[in-house]
Chains A and B, each alone.
Chain A
Amino acid sequence: MSTLVFLEHHGDELLKGSLGVVTKAATVAGGDIAGVVLGSDVRALAEGAGNFGAAKVYVADDPQLEAPLSQPRVDVLAQLIGDQGIDTVLFANSVLAADVAAGLAARLDAGLNWDLVDLTQENGKLVGKRPALQDSVYVDVGWTSEPRLALFRSGSFDPSETGGSAQIEDVEVVLEEFSTAARMVDQAHEESEGPSIEDAPVIVAGGRGLGGPENFTLVEQLAKALGGAVGATRAVVDAGWYPYATQVGQTGKTVSPKLYIACGISGAIQHKVGMQSSGVIVAINKDANAPIFEFADLGVVGDVHEVVPRLTELVKQRKGG
């Protein structure tokens, strides 16, 4: 097998999700695992992948690859996969990686299985595991031809260091005209203000069910009483109720605190993938049919405006007394 892992970076760091996939690939596929880094001024980062199990890292270093846009990356990868006879390409899900993987699937007529949470080898065949229908069914999926493309759900694998080093190989960058038509006008900068929620032991998160931005004070007070941080769903962040830095979910942070309290959050799959590995999940929502109750350890069908402040008081009393 000849396996390639798409190594995504932000600033001068390789993303943890990509490195987790390298670690997984090394255990499943065996043999030499290669990574590929695409960007501008990325050679130094590429070397870091060796420490997670990549024997070789291809580097496409070109100013045209500076912006995190998918289409130029499809061009470079399609060429590389063909030249090197790569049969399996693995991606950790992200906004960028999903678009690269699907563009590549069309370009190469290659099968793409997405949202995988595991990959195994059975009788010489690669088998992916994909949760379906709100994670109520786990489906074993495969590929009927090569190259096989696999996109893994965020946070599926933890990276582990091997102490190895990678051989670096440069890749030629030749781009299609249509691939450079979209242009980055203003690239997102990581918001520096506010505490990072990724390391918080307790997260109290609010969603649209709070009714309005002013009600986030209820969530803040409970978080403060529990010594935790505040999280938010995409819907309320896009609506401007709460800052982006607190967003939990597919396009936000992936968190795994000891305790996650979801207030007025329906629990759509985009949110779920960002917090499902929390130790204990408590959900308060007035809609008894909200999907969040399917995976909460304790679910309360009730009004957040009543339950949350009451809980805050009880927590304070307990701590004070």
Chain B
Amino acid sequence: MKIAVCVKQIPEGSSRIDPESKRLDRSGEGALNPFDANAVEEALRLRDAAGESEVVLVSMGPARAQDALRKALAMGADSAVLVSDEAAAGADLVATSYALSKALEREGADLILFGQQAGDSDGAVLWAAVADRLRLPVVSQAAGVTHENGKVTVKRQTEFGYDVIEAPLPAVVAVSDAINEPRYPSLKGIMGAKSKPQATVSLGDLGVEPERAGEQGSRTEVYALGDPPARGESKKIEDDGSAAQVILDFLAEKRLV
């Protein structure tokens, strides 16, 4: 079985939006989107259970995003493909899902996994757009995934409890961040990652037309950045043994107790 995991590099630490371009500032250090680590972990688990399987990482981002991919390779993924192209900058859901689906088409994976959301943009919808472009079944919010006889069975959490949904492969599944505890890369994994195949492809390589890429291929725009609505006064204390009393006094003052 071939499993593709879609992963993203996000800015390390606290992020900022560039006031000029109104895009996320990606100039600093990068990290693997933590939600994607759950998808990588689930892929490794499914690969090892199935035997004779491989895990390929598929990503879009600046050339430096190879560093984040190396972290996922160190966890145990087998290879990585990065779609990197200046023309892809500023892509929204429409443009990103198109380019990513072109990259995934080339991989011909049996199972395509996503993490629950992007830690930078809070986007939590890409899988459904990619699945529609690839004309494949999709299941999201997976709290459990099993694979048997050419199909996946997914335990999905919704607002109403847990559903059980079955889909024939190839299929797209987005996993929740509660599905597993991602492993830390071992020293051997980190050393081994350096010799694993990491390809970089351009939009041209994938046959993505310029008018369907980046800002040009996007259908949404950002007008302005503003401050959040002001909150009431808030206070933060360290417990020195008196915190319970402080809370009680606070609740009493607010007439909540």
Interface positions of A (Cβ within 8 A of B): 10, 68-71, 74, 94-96, 98-107, 109-115, 127, 131-133, 135-145, 151, 176, 178-179, 181-191, 202, 226, 234-235, 237-239, 244, 251-253, 258-259, 269-270, 280, 282, 284, 288, 293, 295-303, 306-307, 310-311, 313-315, 318-319
User: In the complex, given contacts A185-B164, A238-B178, A298-B247, what are 18 additional A-B residue pairs having Cβ atoms less than 8 angstroms apart?
Assistant: A68-B158, A101-B125, A102-B97, A103-B132, A103-B138, A105-B125, A139-B22, A140-B226, A142-B223, A178-B136, A185-B165, A226-B256, A238-B143, A296-B236, A298-B236, A299-B234, A307-B247, A310-B243
Contact partner, A112, options B117, B160, B166, B220, Cβ 8 Å: B220
Residue ID in chain A nearest B224 by CB atoms:
A140
- A-B pairs, top 7 by smallest CB distance, nearest first, are A302-B239, A111-B219, A188-B161, A102-B125, A238-B178, A310-B244, A102-B128
Q: Within the assembled complex, what's the spacing in Å between the Cα atoms of A112 and B91?
A: 12
| Residues of B close to A244: CB separation below 8 A | 157, 161-162
Residue ID in chain A nearest B238 by CB atoms:
A301
Q: Is the CB of A102 within 8 A of B126?
A: yes
Q: Is the CB of B137 within 8 A of A99?
A: no
| Residues of B close to A298: CB separation below 8 A | 234-237, 246-247, 250
| Residues of B close to A183: CB separation below 8 A | 165-167
Residue ID in chain A nearest B139 by CB atoms:
A182
Q: Within the assembled complex, what's the spacing in Å between the Cα atoms of A138 and B123?
A: 15
| Residues of A close to B137: CB separation below 8 A | 71, 178-179, 181-182
Interface of B (DSSP majority class): mixed
Q: Is the CB of A176 within 8 A of B135?
A: yes
Q: Within the assembled complex, what's the spacing in Å between the Cα atoms of A141 and B122?
A: 15
- Listed by A's residue number, 5 A-B pairs whose Cβ atoms lie within 8 Å are A101-B125, A185-B166, A189-B161, A301-B239, A307-B239
Q: Is the CB of B164 within 8 A of A315?
A: no
| Residues of B close to A137: CB separation below 8 A | 17, 225-228
| Residues of B close to A74: CB separation below 8 A | 132
B124 at the binding interface (Cβ < 8 Å): yes
| Residues of A close to B227: CB separation below 8 A | 137-138
Q: How many residues of B contact A (CB 8 A)?
A: 86
Q: Is the CB of B239 within 8 A of A103?
A: no
Q: Is the CB of B161 within 8 A of A191?
A: yes
- Shortest distance between the CB of B184 and any CB in chain A (Å): 18
Contact partner, A303, options B130, B224, B239, Cβ 8 Å: B239
Q: Within the assembled complex, what's the spacing in Å between the Cα atoms of A148 and B196?
A: 42
B52 at the binding interface (Cβ < 8 Å): no
Q: Within the assembled complex, what's the spacing in Å between the Cα atoms of A251 and B159?
A: 5
| Residues of A close to B232: CB separation below 8 A | 297
Q: Contacts A178-B135, A238-B176, A238-B179; is A113 near B228 (CB within 8 Å)? A: no
- Shortest distance between the CB of A72 and any CB in chain B (Å): 11
Q: Is the CB of B223 within 8 A of A301?
A: no
Q: Within the assembled complex, what's the spacing in Å between the Cα atoms of A216 and B163?
A: 26
Q: Is the CB of B158 within 8 A of A314?
A: no
